[in-house]
Amino acid sequence: MKFYLWTAKKFIWGNRGRAIIPLLGIAAGVSLVFVILSIGEGGRRTVRTDLSLLGENRIMVVPGSSRRAKAFDERDAARIEGIPGVEYVHLTENRAVATTSRGSQVEVTGYRGKAMNAMEIEVVKGSGFPLGRGEILIDERTAREEYGSLDVAGRGLEIGMGSRKSEYKISGVYRNGMDSMKIHGGAMVAGGEMEEILGRIRSREMIVSFYPEEKPERSYPLILSTLDRSHGGRNLYRISETNGRYQRIKKIMKIINMSLGAMGTAALLLGGAGAANLMLLSINERRSHIGILRAVGTPGAGVGKIFLIETLILTTAGGLLGIPGGFIASEVVGRVTGVSPSYGLWQVGVTLLIAIAMGGVAGYCPAMKAARMEPIEAIRDN
């Protein structure tokens, strides 16, 4: 086997000029596959976290055209959460940009207790929900800007909103899936904390989530009548379903993945075809070498192994070259789409396996052709 490997490497080096194009084709294909995997995983996490409040079986309630329709506050949210079948309520404008004691700006969002429990936040350090009084959950960006580390659970954080300052205990650090699109870092506190700091919170949008087995449309009349009674009017509010927005986001992610998948497949096929063509040309150019190898006792299967190993080395090298390119491309695509890529060792393993499998497929036919070549014919034809 060492002899076959040594010979394959010598063949590649001797034909290195032609090997560049299929090498780059494989690298490009692997890079795109890596982008698909990382952006796809990042997109799924984004939908589960930042868009978890806009998913299926959730609706959005907004004021109607009447001037008497006021924005919602925590009392409205509490009333709607009391309706049977409602899992939680979230006021979308229950947030504000605060300034830390070190001068950094962070967007603080208040979530009600039930909403906290339902959110699928990826906590990387410390503990997550539910948050107690005086506790705050910060994102990775804020942790690094403030402390230069993610190991900040239990430490204090002073933030100021307007003329008021508050001291919080950091509960943990979470991963913010939309970090690349945010101007400031992020933080989360209990909904009541925001109202104590800023006064009465008013939001033009109220997201109402229902339990999976519930049918939201059955509760529409009760939700609207409850809000009408609390604000002293009739037909003041309307239902704006968010499932369509959620599905559109999922569709966009699907289109992005399909487009990248098509480009990645095309690049891999072109790279594989280039590698196969290179091997076929190499066989024609090396007929005398093949004849000599066979004449000195190398079996046909051994000659086939040399060309198969040569193809595998070429495609594996393309895969190793494509992975760093995939990291760079993922960051670029992430900034364009606003979806932060998510990386894992499994993605590196999958892309390398694809490259190796492509090498096996591309090198099989040339290897079989070389293995079947008779030594006398090879030397005479040359």
Shared domain check, 221 and 341? no
Shared domain check, 360 and 337? yes
Shared domain check, 79 and 26? no
Of 212, 242, 272, the last residue of a domain is 242
Instruction: Report yes or no: 125 and 140 within 8 Å, Cβ to Cβ.
Output: no
Interatomic CA distance for residues 317 and 52, integer angstroms: 40
Phi and psi of 262, rounded to 5°?
Answer: -65, -45
Handedness of CA 248, 253, 259, 265 (dihedral sign): negative
Shared domain check, 164 and 209? yes
Q: Identify the three-state secondary structure at position 42.
A: helix
pLDDT score at 179? 47
Helix (H) or strand (E) holding 83, with range, is: none
Q: Which domain holds residue 99?
A: 53-242
Shared domain check, 255 and 220? no
Shared domain check, 345 and 310? yes
Shared domain check, 30 and 106? no
Interatomic CA distance for residues 129 and 172, integer angstroms: 9
pLDDT score at 226? 92
The angle, 0 to 180 degrees and rounded to 10, between the axes of the packed helices 300-337 and 345-371 is 150
Shared domain check, 221 and 117? yes
Q: Which residues of 165-197 are buried (b: 16+ CB within 10 A; e: fewer)?
A: ebebebbbbbbbbbbbeeebbbbbbbbebbbeb
Q: What is the DSSP string of 1-12?
A: -HHHHHHHHHHH
Shared domain check, 120 and 24? no
Count up the domains in the chain and report the number. 2
Shared domain check, 284 and 330? yes
Of 191, 208, 242, the last residue of a domain is 242
Question: How many Cβ atoms are within 10 Å of 259's Cβ, its own excluded?
Answer: 12
Helix (H) or strand (E) holding 382, with range, is: none
Which residue type does 350 have?
Answer: V
Q: What is the DSSP string of 135-148?
A: EEEEEHHHHHHHHS
**Cα-Cα-Cα-Cα dihedral of 163, 167, 170, 174, to 10°?**
-10
pLDDT score at 79? 92
Interatomic CA distance for residues 293 and 306, integer angstroms: 11
pTM higher than 0.85 = no
Of 197, 224, 242, the last residue of a domain is 242
Query: What's the DSSP call for residue 202?
Result: -
Shared domain check, 258 and 185? no
Strand boundaries in 44-163, DSSP class E:
58-63, 86-91, 95-100, 105-111, 123-126, 135-139, 156-161
Residue 323, C-beta contacts closer than 8 angstroms, at least 6 positions apart = 30, 31, 34, 348, 351, 352
Shared domain check, 171 and 70? yes
Interatomic CA distance for residues 363 and 365, integer angstroms: 6
Radius of gyration, CA atoms only, the chain:
30
Q: How far is CA 332 from CA 42, 185, 288, 320, in A?
A: 13, 20, 48, 20
Mean pLDDT by 10 residues, the chain (382 residues): 62 62 75 78 59 64 84 88 89 81 83 75 79 86 87 87 80 70 73 68 84 83 91 86 58 68 67 66 65 67 71 79 84 71 77 76 67 62 52
Q: Identify the three-state secondary structure at position 380.
A: helix
